[in-house]
Structure 1
């Protein structure tokens, strides 16, 4: 059975103190980043976050498209085009590389986490399996939240949709303002030329 450490969050929970998702990130950093079995691991990669689930003894399980591997090259494009990714069990430090990570069980207040043994068993069964992959519907965050909660969920996809809609709205508003301004200028110009004759 994998060895999993205790953390401040567990002490808080055992004493009836609720811990918000954003506080969990702070706890993870304050505790030298020692996750417990079943914890979701968020790894910021610049424009997106990669996600894994901690399975003990320094290992995580994650859905890895070819783009998640260093020096992926042409195989990265191939994996996205073919919509496939492989479930990997790897050392947390190898998956994180030079990046940082956070323990982020962000849906604990919304969904009841599965029992740890079920999470570990399901993760073990999936290792080395090739699964469908989709950036917006079946990504690494969907994969780990399905394991932990039984619900595929991706906050980064939801955030991207909100930001995309906001940007689209701003562009449309800018276009409308531009059109109104230019139509008023044309009308003014037309009136000036029409009155000058």
Structure 2
């Protein structure tokens, strides 16, 4: 999995391109990133919506790239993508790195719509988590997502 574009600086958002979606991490220096990933690699796609247990890890670029089974890394790339800097001011790099490393080892509930890897890293960089991927899914699903949420009682 190649790096596309400039080498990251501490605190940068790292986007891992995957077929159909992106995985997100924070660069913490020394060729390592911090990211939120499934605790069990054998999760089911329905769990992305309903939630599953995940863990915050510090790993090399390559280890993070390989965590999804059955996706050849030759089809993927990673790059710096601080795409939200235009609307939110990032914290200073050392503050981002310190906050990211403080999260390492913690278990969290992952949910595609409310607490995914993009929410996690944008929360570290900007102080508020947000996700274009989640917003896109909500937009495409329209009122269906609200109905599912209400029926399940998860986020209301």
Q: Is this a same-fold pair by TM over 0.5?
A: yes
Q: 2:141 aligns with which of 151, 164, 178?
A: 164
Two-structure CA RMSD over aligned residues (Å): 2.2
Deviation >6 Å, runs of 4+ = none
Structure 2 gaps, min length 5: 67-72, 143-156
Structure 1 gaps, min length 5: 1-27, 166-197
SS in 1 for 2:4: helix
User: Greater relative contact order: 1 or 2 (C-alpha under 8 angstroms, separation 6 or more)?
Assistant: 2
1:27-176 to structure 2, matched below 5 A, reads 29-31=4-6, 34-66=7-39, 72-73=41-42, 76-77=43-44, 80=47, 83-97=52-66, 98=73, 99-165=76-142
Please give the alpha-carbon distance, in whole angstroms, between the structure 2 residues aligned to 1:107 and 1:41: 12
SS in 2 for 1:102: strand
Q: Which has the larger radius of gyration?
A: 1
In terms of fraction of residues, the more helix-rich structure is 1
Please report the TM-score for the alignment, with normalisation by the length of structure 1. Answer: 0.60
How many positions carry a matched residue from both structures? 130
In terms of fraction of residues, the more strand-rich structure is 2
